[in-house]
Amino acid sequence: MTATTDGSAGAVPPRAASASDTDSTTPVAAGVHDAAARATRRATDFLLSRQDAAGWWKGDLETNVTMDAEDLLLRQFLGILDESTAHAAGLFVRGEQREDGTWASFYGGPGDLSTTIEGYVALRLAGDEPDAPHMAKASAWIREQGGVAASRVFTRIWLALFGWWKWEDLPELPPELIYFPKWMPLNIYDFGCWARQTIVPLTIVSAKRPVRPAPFALDELHQDANNPNPPKPFAPAASWDGAFQRLDRALHQARKVIPRRLRKAAMNSAARWIIERQENDGCWGGIQPPAVYSVIALYLLGYDLQHPVLREGLASLDRFAVWREDGARMIEACQSPVWDTCLATIALVDAGLPVDHPQLVKAADWMLGEEIVRPGDWAVRRPQLPPGGWAFEFHNDNYPDIDDTAEVALALRRVKHHDPERVDKAIGRAVRWNLGMQSKNGAWGAFDVDNTSPFPNRLPFCDFGEVIDPPSADVTAHVVEMLAVEGLSHDPRTRRGIEWLLAEQEPDGSWFGRWGVNYIYGTGSVVPALTAAGIPGSHPAIRRAVAWLEKVQNDDGGWGEDLRSYKYVKEWSGRGASTASQTAWALMALLAAGERDSKAVERGIEWLAATQREDGSWDEPYFTGTGFPWDFSINYHLYRQVFPLTALGRYVHGEPFAVTSVGKGG
């Protein structure tokens, strides 16, 4: 993909996409309401046609080429990389390279050094020669940016596996961390679940320091091949960075004197921790990176590739592959069927589909079957809390998340199910679990309670994105909305969540979006939640949000926000080319605020209707999902369908689906 915007901090953010950027030029001729109703019907038909026979929906989850590069590097490390896999991955990676030779971490973004290094190595594994024009352009850019020495730790770990980087020049990560009690700083439960699942296996890799024969040299990626990693000065000792740099130096010295029996015992304990968390489908947490590192760690401890744990782990990784029509192979970082299914259910009901429609009932059946009813890592901080919730993926019983649980409850409550008692009980368990996962400040994080330690992000090792899971406005909003629908608006715990949300509003009237891009997502999540909980549209916080959304609306009538708003807030907040999902989020907030007849809503609805394709779908190359703010971005391919349908349905049919029309349980 070719960049469409300048990556510099001083670049002027785009205000809108021109009409020529859309796939449809069908005029809105019959009035806004008629156009919205027609678009709603077409989008409903499209979404219904995409449901799996088992009842779920799942769109592709697109990230960046590091997933594909690391899949190839894993297979090379294990000695199982075959020519056809390398060729298919090379097709995809090559197709994502930009004209300047770089790879970005999101569509239209600036070239990213670590992503470009890994993309380059992937193409070398696929057979591309370093003197090929596209490869020479990439390596020249890498050297200009500081070479491998300037890349993130994770990239250099992958290179160290083949001797392209020295292990002693990487931060130390001792496996003895597994013994830290939960009250001790930097114990593994101080890390967010995604980081925890990655760090535990990497402690084994760090202790073993394996090196496989390199299939080729990578001297062209260093500024100075004779001195690839010149020493860097330490930060002042009185600073946190300086303190942790010196701690890392001490750990390097300590590895020479740690008793071998202690180290071996620690690695074996870490291995047991890993194996205990392998899911029934062979994966770990339904996420590709922890699975990759877990396979390497266990392999280094002597588990052969035919051992059931590794055999099933490798098989699970194959299920992350998405094959394109041209033979290219893209690797998903994870898969989102529960999230996609509950959002699709909400969209279809709010768009007017009968609540007892067979496909909605089938979706509800599937979601009910995905409920997690056993404890996971969250129980370390909440040992007395009974389980009950949903995860994001097909198989992830160790890590249900608060966001999915809230949205699944909202979706189930919309469907007239043939077993209302079963629905009531499942939602009751979800409400109890979500309330039990409330953090002490009154808000909710995604996976854990009070996962807010300041120390993990300070580690030299942790330069790959967010590694803790503090409460966020979007997750808290979804929980508050769910509690309001369940009749708990006046519960003291709900009121604490509302108070936290009101206090977190930005001075300009928006809310920060942790798991979606960004202030438009946060605002589009919070305003409907507040109004559902009884906050009137005349409340000052709602009026400030409305004013901000009107201010950042694009000239074409849509809304968009670039991921650079995470890094350059002032210039990019609420600014970017219009997208279907972000336009829908803005409309959902405005409609909830009582702005149905406003000019801003009318223009937004017109934009959605005009940009809809003939088959009822929308195109959206831009990334509007967030893994780690700025560092890891996601294009959820179903976002462009479910959220526009939700917004259009609410415009056509009025307020979101009223629970009282079905009753609590059908």
Q: And the tokens for 487?
A: 């009749």
In this structure, are strands 321-323 and 61-62 parallel, antiparallel, or unpaired?
A: unpaired
Cβ neighbours for 600, distance < 8 A, ≥ 6 positions apart: 549, 550, 553, 590
With 0-12 / 13-18 / 19 or more C-beta atoms within 10 angstroms meaning exposed / middle / buried, residue 520 is: buried
Q: Verify whether residue 403 is a known catalytic residue.
A: yes
CB 412 within 8 A of CB 426: yes
Distances (CA, A) of 598 to 190, 534, 546, 638: 46, 22, 11, 28
- The residues, ordered by sequence, that sit 6+ positions from 656 with a Cβ below 8 Å of its Cβ are 350, 528, 532, 592, 650
Helix/strand/coil percent split, the chain, to 5: 50, 5, 45
**Selected catalytic residue, list 403, 469, 474, 631:** 403
Residues forming a β-bridge with 322: 330
Give the torsion through C-alpha atoms of 523, 64, 618, 22, to 10 deg. 100
Joined tokens for residue 526: 């919070």
Instruction: Report residue 435 as tokens.
Output: 């309330």
Look at residues 340, 391, 248 and name the one whose alpha carbon lies nearest to residue 645.
340
Length of the chain: 666
Q: Where are the alpha helices (DSSP H) in 533-596?
A: 540-552, 569-572, 580-592
Per-residue buried b or exposed e for 246-274, using 16+ beta carbons within 10 Å of the residue's own CB: ebbeebeeeeeeeeeeebeebbeebbebb
In a 13 Å sphere around the CA of 220, the CA atoms on its Cβ side amount to 17
Q: Which residues pair with 626 in a beta bridge?
A: 633
Q: What is the DSSP letter of 398?
A: T
Residues whose CB is less than 8 angstroms from the CB of residue 65 and which lie 6 or more positions away in sequence, other chains included: 92, 93, 96, 103, 115, 118, 119, 122
Rg of the chain over Cα atoms, rounded to whole angstroms, equals: 25
Query: To which residue do tokens 């997690």 refer?
Result: 372
DSSP 119-188: HHHHHHHTT--TTSHHHHHHHHHHHHTT-GGGS-HHHHHHHHTTTSS-GGGS----GGGGG--TTSTT-G
The catalytic site residues sit at 403
